[in-house]
Amino acid sequence: MGPAPIRRRPTTLTIAACELVALAAGACSSDDSTARASDSSGGAELYGQSCASCHGADLRGTDQGPSHLSQVDAPDHHPDASFRAAVTQGSAAHHWDFGDMPPVEGLSDEEIDLIIAYVREQQETHGLDPYPPG
C-alpha cells in the first residue's frame, strides 16, 4: 500500500471561483420568471413579425394559414421539432387546404425557440380548439 493521499483544504481562491461559477449559473437559469417574461415578449414580437400574417395575430389562423391553437398542433401531435422543421424547411400541406408552407428565412435558432415557446405558452393559456374545426 502506498502513502495516504494528502488532503488539502480549499484555498480562498478555489472557494471564490466555485462561488462565481454558481452565481453565473444562477444568473443564466431559465427558471427565473423575469427571464421567462422577457422570452415570452420576445417570442410574441418575433411571432408577430414572422408568422402572424399567415397564422393570425391571435394564432387562430387566416385565409393564408391554419391556427396554432388547434388540437392538431398539440405537443403530442406536432412536437417542437415539427415546428422547427416547418420554419427552417417549410412544410407540405397536411391538415389544411392553404397549400405548402415555405421556409421562413432570417430567423436564428434562438429566435425560433422564442417563437415556439410563445406558441406553446399561448396554447396553454387559451387551450386548443377541436380538430377538425367545426
Question: pLDDT of 87-132, one tens digit each?
Answer: 999 999 888 888 999 999 999 999 999 999 999 999 999 999 998 7
**Domain assignment of residue 65, yes or no:** yes
- Burial grade of 47 (CB within 10 A; 0-12, 13-18, 19 or more): buried
What pLDDT score does 3 carry? 56
102: left (phi over 0), alpha (psi -120 to 50) or beta: beta
Q: 32 lies in a domain? A: no
Residue 79 has pLDDT above 60, yes or no: yes
Q: How far apart are CA 38 and CA 76, in angstroms?
A: 26
Half-sphere exposure for 122 (CA within 13 Å, toward CB): 22
Read off the DSSP letter of residue 89. H
How many Cα atoms occupy the beta-carbon half-sphere of 19 within 13 Å?
A: 7
- pLDDT for the residue numbered 16: 34
pTM of the model: 0.69
pLDDT digits (tens, 9 = 90+) for 11-67: 433 333 333 333 333 333 333 333 344 455 799 999 999 999 999 999 999 999 999
Decide if 7 is inside a domain: no
Domain extent at residue 117: 40-126
Which residues on neighbouring strands pair with residue 84, listed in sequence order? none
Q: With 80 as the cut, is the pLDDT of residue 10 above it?
A: no
CATH of the domain at 49: 1.10.760.10
Asked, for residue 88, whether it belongs to a domain, the answer is yes
In a domain, 122, yes or no: yes
More confident residue, 31 or 5: 5
- CB-facing half-sphere around the CA of 115: CA atoms within 13 A: 26
Task: Name the domain count of the chain.
Answer: 1
- In this structure, are residues 59 and 68 in contact, taking their beta carbons and an 8 Å threshold? yes
84 in a domain, yes or no? yes
